[in-house]
Amino acid sequence: MKKATGGVFLVLFVLVLAGCPPTPDPRVHYICFGDSVTQGLPDGSYPMFLEQLLINGVGEQPGCVANRGQYGDVACQCYPRLQENIQESLFPNAHTVLFWEMGNDLFLYLYEHNHDLDHGPTQQEIQDIWSMTFTCLGQAVSIVRNADLGVYLATYFYVIPGKPITGYEQGLTEAQAVIANQYVDVLNEAIIGFAASQAVPVAPVHVLGVLGGSPEYYYDGMHPNAEGYRLIADVWYSAITGSL
């Protein structure tokens, strides 16, 4: 009987823990929300390096940045997760969301419409990407602003050939990378256009083009390594401090 009773209490204890809400973190001021490009790697992510820049540059404290990146996230389907991650009960002192999505939305679109990357963006595809961007970012920005938080968006750097990319395990050829980046240009123009229409500040990551001008700044064909993330963190930091 004692063993059975102890087992019941253990099960109840585990269930209680599983049902407990996460402990609020009052240190967090910036919520970095996005997909795998935000999530980063074990040895580096842009939120990690951005936090250090904010500590050294404007006197923020350790823990001021929360990394809420998630591999495979899609902007047009992220709304429930976004709402969960900006709750005041989770980050009671957060004031800004750094929302960086649309990369996966673009590549899912390409898989369906131009998987072989054998032609540049058509007029219809340009219209589709602009419409998708305005719809997806519009909903996300509304969610953040309805929570009385500030929001930043970001544009995208270029992909590179010769290293694996999701859906292109052998990597892109030189010609395919050129075409893929034409679509990245369209997405960036749409992000900037949306941001201007809604007075949302933008971290212009697109100015980096190919990160560091070299494949050495990439983990694979579309994700940075630690040094690439340092470059991206610099752009975010400049955008944030330029608006303060």
Scan for tokens 């990690």, then name that residue: 48
- The CATH homologous superfamily to which domain 23-243 belongs is SGNH hydrolase (3.40.50.1110)
Over the stretch 138-194, which tens digit does the pLDDT of each residue have?
Answer: 999 999 999 999 999 999 999 999 999 887 888 999 999 999 999 999 999 999 999
Q: Domain locations in the chain?
A: 23-243
- pTM of the predicted model as reported, rounded to 2 decimal places: 0.90
- 228: which residues sit within 8 A by CB, 6+ positions away? 157, 211, 212, 217, 218, 219
Paired with 168 in beta bridges are 165
Q: Give the span between the Cα atoms of 2 and 8, in whole angstroms.
A: 10
Q: Give the span between the Cα atoms of 198 and 141, in whole angstroms.
A: 9
- Other CB atoms within a 10 A radius of the CB of residue 8 amount to 10
User: For residue 64, is pLDDT > 60?
Assistant: yes
Share of the chain above pLDDT 90, in %: 87
Q: Give the span between the Cα atoms of 103 and 188, in whole angstroms.
A: 10
Over the stretch 83-129, which tens digit does the pLDDT of each residue have?
Answer: 999 999 999 999 999 999 999 999 999 999 999 999 999 999 999 99
Is residue 161 a contact partner of residue 176, using CB atoms and an 8 Å limit? yes
- Encoding tokens for residue 15? 């269930």
